[in-house]
């Protein structure tokens, strides 16, 4: 254990922990141009599939010649060792071709690199909760370990997360941007506007930055620590590529109960977010709404939408305006998902909204009163399963309700209802 502080991690016998780190893969015979590091932890539901989309997009976006100069390191850093091993085997089976060439490595860490995080709780930033502080403290240690492990593979190191997709030709764009800034003193170049995604370092500085992360691991989040480290090394301003090269696709955070509906509006390519919809059709239902649709927009587009249909757009909202779905008979529901706003620009979101249901039978369908509060939207998104909201039995109707006036455009993008198959 790191009882004397996280610097013990750096001072451990490197040969000892390195020999126990790699699960699948092999180092290349020569120093490459770029190492991409991605820490991976267990997520709920379809979030478990994000990393496979991330790896696939990197493979698809690079040529065979480029792969010769890239090492992709996947760091399985969950505390559930069984999950780490099972996931590593699945990755090795799915991408065996790239493991054999040295392009892809899958690693994990000894659990004794981590301190007892619950005892190192330090709530001195933004009044973060204990769970969130522990989560971001572990994240800092994960990044430090991954950087320390990867520091000798290539000239440059790129930090990604396990729920992004890469733009086509990102490797060429990165090389061009590095060459364009070769006369500038820089600590990090940025290829995404989001958090810790797409941050590029010279590999020779990784051990120094890893030490800095470890010295402050339970004090500040990683993106704030990066900003401080950059300024301490005389890079006052960020240096960002004009276009984002990595788009965030994950809605399910690795922090339990948290949604992360963020995107980079500068992303170079388009992306089909409907590929992450939950399979299956919504149960039949009749739609009632007092929301004022924009010209050519129809309420059905939110609940019965097919690919190619426009979203349901609302000109303005008043408090207590609602979008209600009434079912022919009461049903049991396991999950309700509501997405609002433009999927990339994040404009038109319903920030102040709630989801309610009406239960039971015995009244005309248009008079079903959705009086039971299920939960609130977060930054325009709602997912009862992720947010930990319970849904009562025998639901006759569901309503998305605005709780404040909103004078400008609102987009109700998608409503998904998943039946409880146990009943």
pLDDT digits (tens, 9 = 90+) for 352-371: 999 999 998 766 667 899 99
pLDDT digits (tens, 9 = 90+) for 162-174: 999 999 999 999 9
Give the distance from CA 61 to its chain's centroid.
20
Give the residue with greater pLDDT, 67 vs 276.
Answer: 67
Confidence (pLDDT) at 86:
92
- The mean pLDDT value for 397-418 works out to 95
Confidence tier at 13 by pLDDT (50, 70, 90): very low
Cα-Cα-Cα-Cα dihedral sign, residues 340, 342, 344, 350: negative
Confidence tier at 122 by pLDDT (50, 70, 90): low
Confidence (pLDDT) at 5:
43
What distances in angstroms separate CA 285 from CA 221, 358, 365, 387, 395, one per listed residue?
45, 14, 10, 25, 12
Return the exposure string of 6-38: e unless at least 16 CB atoms fall within 10 Å of the residue's CB, then b. Answer: beebeeeeeeebeeebbbbbeebeeebbbbbbb
Q: Report the C-alpha gap between 243 and 91 in whole angstroms.
A: 30
Q: Report the C-alpha gap between 314 and 297 in whole angstroms.
A: 8
Beta strand residue intervals within 316-387, DSSP E? 322-331, 333-340, 353-359, 372-376, 381-383
- The mean pLDDT value for 50-70 works out to 95
Domains annotated for the chain, with CATH where assigned, are: 7-248 (3.90.550.10), 279-419 (2.60.120.260)
| Residue % of the chain over a pLDDT of 90 | 65
Confidence (pLDDT) at 18:
54
Pairing, β 32-40 against β 154-159: parallel
Of 2-6, 23-27, 190-194, minimum mean pLDDT range: 2-6
Backbone angles phi, psi at 89, to 5 degrees: -65, -40
Q: Tokens for 264? A: 């980079």
Give the residue with greater pLDDT, 252 vs 307.
Answer: 252
């Amino acid at each position: 254990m790191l009882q004397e502080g996280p610097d013990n991690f750096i001072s451990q016998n490197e040969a000892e922990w390195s020999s126990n780190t790699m699960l699948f893969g092999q180092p290349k015979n020569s120093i490459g141009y770029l190492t991409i590091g991605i820490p991976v932890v267990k997520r709920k539901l379809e979030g478990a599939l994000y990393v496979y989309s991330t790896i696939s997009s990197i493979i698809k976006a690079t040529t065979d010649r480029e792969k010769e100069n890239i090492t992709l390191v996947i760091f399985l850093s969950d505390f559930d060792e069984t999950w780490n091993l099972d996931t590593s085997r699945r990755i090795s089976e799915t991408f065996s071709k790239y493991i054999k060439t040295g392009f892809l490595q899958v690693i994990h860490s000894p659990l004794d690199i981590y301190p007892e995080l619950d005892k190192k709780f330090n709530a001195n930033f933004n009044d973060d909760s204990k769970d969130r502080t522990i989560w971001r403290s572990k994240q800092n240690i994960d990044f430090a370990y991954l950087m320390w492990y990867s520091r000798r593979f290539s000239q440059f190191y790129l930090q990604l997360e396990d729920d992004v997709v890469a733009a086509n030709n990102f490797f060429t764009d990165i090389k061009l941007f590095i060459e364009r800034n070769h006369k500038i003193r820089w600590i990090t170049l940025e290829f995404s506007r989001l958090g810790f995604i797409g941050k590029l370092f010279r590999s020779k500085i990784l051990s120094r930055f890893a030490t800095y992360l470890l010295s402050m691991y339970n004090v500040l989040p990683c993106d704030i620590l990066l900003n401080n480290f950059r300024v301490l090394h005389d890079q006052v301003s960020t240096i960002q590529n004009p276009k984002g090269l990595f788009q965030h696709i994950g809605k399910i955070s690795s922090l339990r109960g948290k949604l992360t509906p963020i995107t980079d509006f500068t992303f170079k390519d388009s992306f089909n977010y409907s590929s992450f919809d939950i399979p299956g059709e919504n149960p039949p239902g009749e739609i009632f709404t007092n929301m004022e649709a924009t010209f050519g927009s129809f309420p059905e587009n939110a609940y019965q939408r097919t690919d190619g249909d426009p979203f349901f757009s609302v000109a303005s909202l008043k408090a207590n305006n609602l979008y209600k779905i009434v079912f022919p008979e009461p049903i049991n529901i396991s999950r309700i998902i509501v997405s609002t706003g433009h999927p990339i620009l994040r404009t038109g979101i319903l920030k102040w909204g709630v989801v309610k249901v009406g239960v039971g039978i015995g009244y005309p369908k248009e008079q079903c009163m959705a009086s039971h509060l299920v939960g609130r939207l977060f930054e325009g998104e709602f997912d009862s399963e992720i947010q930990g909201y319970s849904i009562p039995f025998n639901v006759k109707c569901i309503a998305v309700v605005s709780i404040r006036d909103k004078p400008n455009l609102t987009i109700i993008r998608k409503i998904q209802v998943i039946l409880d198959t146990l009943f």
